[in-house]
Every structure is written in C-alpha cells, then in structure tokens.
Amino acid sequence: MIGRLAAIVTLLLAAALLAGCTVTVGGRDTVEPARVSASLTRWLKERSPDVRVGNIVCPGGVKLTAGGTFECTADMEGAQLPITVTLTHVDTDKGEYDISFKPAKALINIDKLVEDVRSNLPLEVAFDLASATVDCGTPRVRVVEVGGTIECTVANGDARHVVRAVIEDVDGTGHYELANPPPPRPEVATVKVGDKLTVYDEFGDPQLEVTITQVKFSKGDEFATPERGLYMGAHVKAHALADDQYPYNLYARVRGHLYDQAVAGFAFEPLLDPVPLNKGERASGWALFDVPTRHGQLVLRDLDEKTVGVWKY
C-alpha cells in the first residue's frame, strides 16, 4: 500500500448524499416502479451531470413497509449501477412514503481517475509528470465493487509501472498501490580492477556501467607530496544507461576508512571530470587519492551515500 487517499475524486455518486422525496401513489399498498425510477433518474442527473443516465429498472410488487429495501439498476453509459432504495415514513392509508437512494457499488469516471493517478503517483514511480502518460483503459464509466480494483499503466519512454486503485467503499474512498512492486534492491557488486560493474536502481533497472581499468601509485615529487604516504590513481571508464549518473562519486576505502579524492594530478592526467552523465554519454579519466597503503578498495556511492559498487585493489 503506497498511501491512503482521502477519497478517489472520480466518484460520481456519494453515498452520504441520500435522496429524500415523497411519493404518492393513490392508496396502493405496493411501490410503483415507474415513480421510483423517475425520482431516481432526477437524483442521478443532479449528482452525476457528466454521465448519461439511461434506462432504470426497478422491481414491481414491493410492499409498502417502513424500513423495507429493494434494489434498482441504473444504466450509466453502459455500466450497470445497483442502487439500494429504502422506504421510510410509510403511510399505507394515503399511499405515501419517503424513499432514499444509496449506490451498492462505486461509480468511477475513468477520465477523472487518470487525472487523479497523475496527481498522486506513488513515490516509487519517479517519473516526470509532464512527460508521463497514464492509461486506465476503457470504458469511460465503470461500476466497481467494494474491494475491487482498477489498474492504470504509467509510462515514460521505455519505463513503465502498473498502479492499482483499490476501491474501499461505495463512496470511492481508496488507496493506490503498485501492481508490479519493485524487486529488492540488488546487492552491491564487488569486482576486481579491470572488471566492468553495472549499477542498478531500486527497481532493478541498469543505470550506469563503470570499469576501473587500472590502479597505479606514486610517492609524489618536489611539487606535491602525499600526506598519507602514497598517491593512488584509479583510471575510470563510465557509460551512462540513464540520465543523471555520477561516476566520479568514488572513494578509497583503506582499513575501514573512506578517503575523498585528492586534487593533485601531476602524474594522473586527464582527471575524471566531476560532471553528471546523461543516458548514452561516456567519460574516462583518473580519480586521485591520498592513501596510507597499497591495499584497499574503491567504493562508488550514489547521491544518497549508499554504496553501489566496490573494486578490490
């Protein structure tokens, strides 16, 4: 469950808005279906002005009994909506009674559902709203049982997710959830120098390919001397498989301590440019570190400081 909505705004009939009207049928002791259908038609048109109300069928022979209920069915643009009719204030001598209406299922406008899904995308669907498309299928108007669902496909280019709207009551109150929840975040890969490492996002989609082609060391020269004993250069080749990738977010890990990149690059040129890569772009260069020993690891982290790749050297 991604998040509860106060109400799915696509609901066309609100159960809380019950119709109350008086029907006089000339002393009969049974409900007159035609009169109930006419009242129900007016009620539906008032509360669902953007939906065409078709034929309404109500049963005959229903006895006038206070508190009695029966069910009518309304054709709402081809969707069959069951509506519970309740009799109150029954006066059998005069043949008068009040009736109230309550839908037995939720009536959903798919056009409005598309708008609502676009405005309430789950956090896992990290799409640009301006470019994302939402398709909840046809027909435009649907009748959904309590506990029923409607699935919508949210897409942006080749990436797509299925968002499920779960209807919790006849008012349309519900929540959204991913019908295709992301797999567990892939375990951090540990490779050797010379091996290509692929970085994945939390959905398991490949984002970046990085290869540490070689590692070399220097004790510096008369112009620059490492404070910890050694300059280590790691030559990096990167290929972005998605936008906004950061192959330069590398650290050296020695004896459990992470070392940031150093700035002296006299023996390690060209340095790796500290700029993000977009899909299809490539970069190469040296990452330089001031380290105390020749043995350790290179660690690639994402912008949330989560480790996404490790090279042993």
* Alpha helices, H only, 62-138: 110-119
Do the domain assignments include residue 3? no
Contact 227, 275 (CB under 8 A): no
Please say if the pLDDT value at position 245 is more than 70.
yes
Do the domain assignments include residue 5? no
- Write down the pLDDT at residue 126: 65
Q: Are residues 22 and 88 in the same domain?
A: yes
Contacts of 233 (CB under 8 A, 6+ apart): 215, 216, 217, 218, 267, 268, 286, 287, 288, 289
CB atoms within 10 A of CB 270: 9
Q: Are residues 204 and 302 in the same domain?
A: yes
Q: How many CA atoms lie within 13 A of 222 on its CB side?
A: 0
- Write down the pLDDT at residue 114: 92
Least confident stretch, 11-15, 162-166, 176-180, 236-240 = 11-15
CB atoms within 10 A of CB 229: 14
Least confident stretch, 32-46, 74-88, 194-208 = 194-208
Please say if the pLDDT value at position 5 is more than 80.
no
Which SS3 state, helix, strand or coil, does residue 54 take?
strand
- Write down the pLDDT at residue 95: 81
State how far the alpha carbon of 136 is from the alpha carbons of 23, 108, 151, in Å: 41, 11, 6
Tokens for 90?
């029954």
Please say if the pLDDT value at position 9 is more than 90.
no
Q: Provide the domain limits for residue 135.
A: 108-178
Tokens for 10?
């696509």
Query: Span 280-298, mean pLDDT?
Result: 95
Residue after which a domain boundary falls, among 131, 148, 178:
178
Q: Are residues 116 and 96 in the same domain?
A: no
Query: Span 67-95, mean pLDDT?
Result: 94
Residue after which a domain boundary falls, among 86, 105, 124:
105
Q: If pLDDT is split at 50, 70 and 90, which confidence band does 266 have?
A: low
Do the domain assignments include residue 4? no
Residue after which a domain boundary falls, among 105, 136, 164:
105
Report how many domains make up the chain: 3
| Nearest alpha-carbon partner for 193 in 298, 54, 82 | 298
Please say if the pLDDT value at position 217 is more than 90.
yes
Please say if the pLDDT value at position 110 is more than 90.
yes
Tokens 């065409």 -> residue: 52
For the stretch 176-199, pLDDT in tens is: 888 877 666 667 888 999 999 999
For the stretch 116-131, pLDDT in tens is: 888 877 666 766 666 7
Q: If pLDDT is split at 50, 70 and 90, which confidence band does 103 have?
A: very high
Q: Are residues 39 and 55 in the same domain?
A: yes
Q: Are residues 198 and 297 in the same domain?
A: yes
Q: Are residues 139 and 170 in the same domain?
A: yes
State how far the alpha carbon of 211 is from the alpha carbons of 13, 214, 215, 218, in Å: 59, 9, 11, 21
User: What are residue 59's phi and psi, to 5 degrees?
Assistant: -75, 155
Q: Please state the separation of Cα 38 from the chain's center in Å.
A: 42
- Write down the pLDDT at residue 123: 64
**Greater confidence, 154 or 119?**
154
For the stretch 16-38, pLDDT in tens is: 334 445 444 444 688 999 999 99
Cα distance from N-terminal residue to C-terminal residue, the chain = 43
Report how far residue 234's alpha carbon sits from residue 218's, in angstroms, rounded to the nearest whole number: 12
Helix (H) or strand (E) holding 44: helix 33-47
Tokens 């953007």 -> residue: 50
Query: Span 132-145, mean pLDDT?
Result: 94
- Write down the pLDDT at residue 7: 35
> What is the model's pTM?
0.55
Query: Span 234-238, mean pLDDT?
Result: 96
